[in-house]
Structure 1
Amino acid sequence: MRKPRIDYAAVFHALPGMVALLTPDLVYADANEDFLRLAGRTREQLLGRYIFDVFPENPNDPAAAGKRETQASMLRVVATGERDTMALLRYDIEDRERPGHWVEHFWSPVNAPVLGPDGRVLLLVHRVEEVTELIHARRGADRDSSRARVLEAELYTRSRELLEVNERLRRAHARDREIALALQDAMLPAPTPVGRHRAAVRYRPAVGALNVCGDWYDLVDLPGDRIAVAVGDVVGHGLEAACVMGQLRSALSAAARVADGPARALEALGLYARHVDGAESTTVVKTFIDWDTHTLTYSSAGHPPPALLHRDGTVIFLDQATDPPLGARPEHVPRPEATTAFADGSTLVLYTDGLVERRREGIDLGLARLADSLVRHGQAGPEALADALLADLLPSTGSTDDTALVIIRL
């Protein structure tokens, strides 16, 4: 039996209940028949228009918060790629037949993302349960009860108080984020010069309050024409992760100055991490660059592999010396180490997983995107290349994970 062909556009317009599609800029892309009917708008009045131009806030109600709460919910979905269910919402709508006359509506909205193959939000599904008649019926049943009216007034007052508390919390989180970013700047200063060699570093915090300081980078001058480079990623975010990051970064920087290679430096760091709360499962990769021998020697503790862009445009990933993250083994075991040659003019890229990993897709896709971007922009200097990689690989609305990036022209 042949499967029936489904007209999904017809299904969408026949859906029961109010459903609309919006772009990440909150512009209407489509709406089903129930949405048009219950909102009192034609398709021409909606499509291609910004949502709050079509449904502005009631200017006669200074306490109205429907627009602010709806906008905040939709922007959260765009930023995180996750569904957001809103509480019961009052949103007055101007009657198109009687300008200046606002009709009270009560909605229960849900906003959900439609993701593209790269994990970015392509559209917002805005589904609304219209419960105005239920609220009005409840009010009518309670109208003769003075106690019910008092309770309703108390409930409304309490809801406004909760909104004010939420606003104060939002401002407090914003202040905490500024503090955490200042701490991140202090812990991850601009690297010292690496002789005649050009390097660039970048750090991008995750979207959301206090999602900073989990990732780090470090560059260390070594005797001769050599440097040691590292990037690492502490599990978690916020000030606690920042403190762990600061301890591990300092310990690895010191170990690199006395160890005879990256594997020995990571072994020393692993022993130290056993005594640092919150350090378990940290990933880090360490690379020693030697311009006298034109070799890269590296070792990885569960970290994404560095990328090496050769002058001929080929990209290889340094994945031949990968071991579990810090604290993953109950006993100390020597870590592996590998060496590869490079030619002058090649480019080495170290990064944390925020640059390449996305929800609901394998790491290989992220590594392929990185390699493609390197090939396209590889002739640029380290600073321009760093900006190009971030622009190509990070979502335009911000990533849900920190990202650290180090680029060195060899």
Structure 2
Amino acid sequence: MGKAKSKSQEQKPKALGFAFASASVVADLVVRSRVVWLEVVAVGDEVALRLRVLNAVTDAALRHLDLDKLLEVLLEQCRALFAVDTVTVLLVDRAGVQLVARASSGLGEEVFQGVRVPVGKGFAGRVAQQREAVQIERVDPSTVVNPLLWEHGLRVLLGVPMIAEGELTGVLHIGSTVLRRFTEEEIEALQLIADRVAVAVYVDRSRSERAAAAMLQESLLPSRLPSPHGWELAARYVPGAESGVGGDWYDVFELPGERIGVVIGDVVGNGLRAAVVMGRLRSALRAYALEYLDPAQVLGKLDRKASYFEHDTMATVAYAIIDTATHRMTLALAGHLPPVVVGPGEEARFVGAPVGPPIGFDLGVSGRRSIGVDVPPGALVALYTDGLVERRGQDLDAGLELLRGAVRAVEPEAACIRVMAVMVGDQPATDDIALVAIRHCG
């Protein structure tokens, strides 16, 4: 019995040891299971967040909203999805040097006060410059340009760039008053929203710019051409099918002393910026035309003005003054193609005027020269921009020769009809076209 008891007692510790070992293993398995379960839950939450974001940005109802309403809806959803206190969109200005607060949820003061952040400075400026996500866990003057952010108690910020068609349109950032670390999955989810907003901004800006450029262009083209005794005029302007409204323009105005000023020009580039520069050059040239009698001197002053104030701008311009009393045209060219002149029963020819450098080419360019050309009764002069003679896959000389053959000494309106039929026909021009025809009808 003693021996048996002893054996039993000897076995007990082993059994207890086994029991203790089993409990430890079970506890370890429970802990591991809980970790795995938490990871699964976390992964599930991340997947769920991504799905919710995808649902938000692909909602068909958003297609019918204007930009302001779309921003309002998406920013509110973004604030709820990421459980943050603020969501803000800042857009890059047209110069590309500053971010301007456009919409916000939770921090409307940014928009109301017109907050601006230089690209490359502070938190949002870094996001714009680096074109990548930036997360900061200290919000103070050393990290952020806008004091409203730390004044409202924000402790963390996450910002992502808004890019559409390779163009930076702005920055989207979220902020929290609770210290936290945004995960990679949250960063990716926020980028999805930023991409959706970027496209909306890009489309809205492009549409607005096209409309504004078209309106500006239309307002700056002469609504009525002068009709001095013994002279007839006609003109055409057609925006390019590919480039849209750009910087081509023509202008005709009466000057003191029975003179007519005729301008045709082409600002390099297209869109609203080109149209705005065109408007400035047009206004400046008109002012100089009242002060100086020589077209070359007028273009010299215009060049000086553009080179100083219109940085990174270049334009070609032809400016002619027609003296209706002497029937003589004085012409100067700034990088522009020469006009065509044709008399009754003659072949058309290009005016052999010296071609000076384009406007904005170099500050203080001197040596521009004008040339005088007789315009006898029945003769016609045609000025044009390069969109009329340049075609993809066609030599410029061939286009110029085709134009020369198309110009006839007929009524200006008939001349424009013929030129446009020959040079354009049934194919849309890829670039803007401006054409002015002037005839001395005697």
Q: TM-score, normalised by structure 1?
A: 0.55
Q: Are positions 1:401 and 2:431 aligned together? A: yes
The partner residue of 1:310 within 339, 343, 355 is 343
d(CA) in 1 for partners of 2:392 and 2:241?
Answer: 17
1:339 partnered with 2:369: no
d(CA) in 2 for partners of 1:279, 1:198: 38
Per the alignment, residue 219 of structure 1 pairs with 252
Q: How does 1:4-403 map to 2 (within 5 A)?
A: 176-208=209-241, 211-277=244-310, 280-374=313-407, 378-394=408-424, 396-403=426-433
Identify unmatched segments of 5+ residues in structure 2.
1-50, 67-199
* 1:397 partner letter: Q
CA distance in 2, matches of 1:391, 1:188: 22
CA distance in 2, matches of 1:268, 1:172: 34
Report deviation, 1:213.
3.8
Q: Secondary structure at the match of 1:314?
A: coil
Give the counterpart letter for 2:419 in structure 1.
L
Greater displacement, 239-248 / 191-200? 191-200
Mapped to 1, the partners of 2:353 and 2:433 lie a distance apart of 23
In the aligned structure 2, how far is the partner of 1:332 from the partner of 1:169? 39
Shift of residue 308, structure 1, vs aligned partner = 0.4
**Cα shift at 1:353:** 0.5
How far has the Cα of 1:283 moved from its partner?
0.4
The amino acid that maps onto 1:390 is M
Distance in structure 2 (CA, Å) of the matches to 1:230 and 1:286:
5
Counterpart secondary structure, 1:283: strand
Q: Which protein is bigger by CA-based radius of gyration?
A: 2
**Given the superposition, is the C-alpha separation of residues 338 and 189 from structure 1 closer, same or farther in structure 2, using an over 3 Å criterion?**
closer
State the AA in 2 paired with 1:310.
Answer: G
- 1:146 is matched with none
Aligned-partner Cα distance in 1 for 2:406–2:273: 34
Give distance in 2, aligned partners of 1:280 and 1:327. 6
In the TM superposition, what whole-angstrom CA distance separates every residue of 1:18-63 from its partner, at most 9, and x where no partner exists?
A: xxxxxxxxxxxxxxxxxxxxxxxxxxxxxxxxxxxxxxxxxxxxxx
Q: C-alpha distance in 2, partners of 1:205/1:278?
A: 27
Structure-1 separation of matches of 2:240 and 2:286: 28
Aligned length: 259
Taking a change above 3 Å as real, the CA distance of residues 212 and 199 of structure 1, as seen in their structure-2 partners, is farther
2:402 and 2:246 map into 1 onto residues whose CA distance is 25
Preserved contact between residue 246 and residue 272 of structure 2 (Cα < 8 Å) = yes
CA 406–259 in structure 1, closer or farther in 2 if over 3 Å, else same: same
CA spacing shift, 1:175–1:209, aligned 2, 3 Å:
farther
- Equivalent-residue separation in structure 2 for 1:175 and 1:251 (angstroms): 26
In structure 1, distance between residues paired with 2:234 and 2:242: 23
Corresponding residue number in structure 2 for 1:74: none
Asked if the contact 1:194/1:221 (under 8 Å) is kept, the reply is no
Deviations 1:102-140 (A, max 9, x none): xxxxxxxxxxxxxxxxxxxxxxxxxxxxxxxxxxxxxxx
Q: Take 2:386 and 2:243, find their aligned partners in 1: how far apart are those partners? A: 18
- Tell me, in whole angstroms, the C-alpha distance in 1 between the residues paired with 2:368 and 2:316: 13
Distance 1:383 1:158, change over 3 A: same
**Aligned pair in 2 of structure 1 residues 279, 293: CA closer, same or farther (>3 Å)?**
farther
Q: Retained in 2: the 8 A contact 1:232–1:303?
A: yes
- TM-score when scaled to structure 2? 0.51
Q: Per the alignment, do residues 365 and 268 of structure 1 end up closer, same or farther by CA in structure 2, a change over 3 Å counting?
A: same
CA distance in 1, matches of 2:264, 2:291: 18
Task: Give yes or no for contact 1:226–1:290 (8 Å, CA) kept in 2.
Answer: yes
Post-superposition offset of 1:318: 1.4
Secondary structure of 1:268's aligned partner: helix
1:206/1:398 contact within 8 Å kept: no
Partners of 1:194 and 1:227 within 8 A in 2: no
Moved over 3 A (4+): 167-179, 197-210
CA contact (8 A) 2:380 2:410 kept: no
**Worse-superposed segment, 287-296 or 231-240:** 287-296
Q: How far off its partner does 1:169 sit?
A: 7.5
- Does the 8 Å CA contact 1:199/1:406 hold for their aligned counterparts? no
Residues 327 and 381 of structure 1, relative CA distance in 2, 3 Å threshold: same
Distance in structure 2 (CA, Å) of the matches to 1:396 and 1:387? 13
**SS at 1:214 equivalent:** strand
Q: Aligned-pair distance for 1:384?
A: 2.3
Distance in 2 of aligned mates of 1:219 and 1:373: 23
Decide whether aligned partners of structure 1 residues 169 and 265 sit closer, same or farther in structure 2, where only a CA change above 3 A counts: closer
Give the Cα separation in 2 of the matches to 1:332 and 1:379: 36
Hey, what's the Cα distance between the residues in 1 that align with 2:324 and 2:294? Answer: 15
Contact 2:235 2:416 in 1 (8 A): yes
How much does 1:209 deviate?
7.3
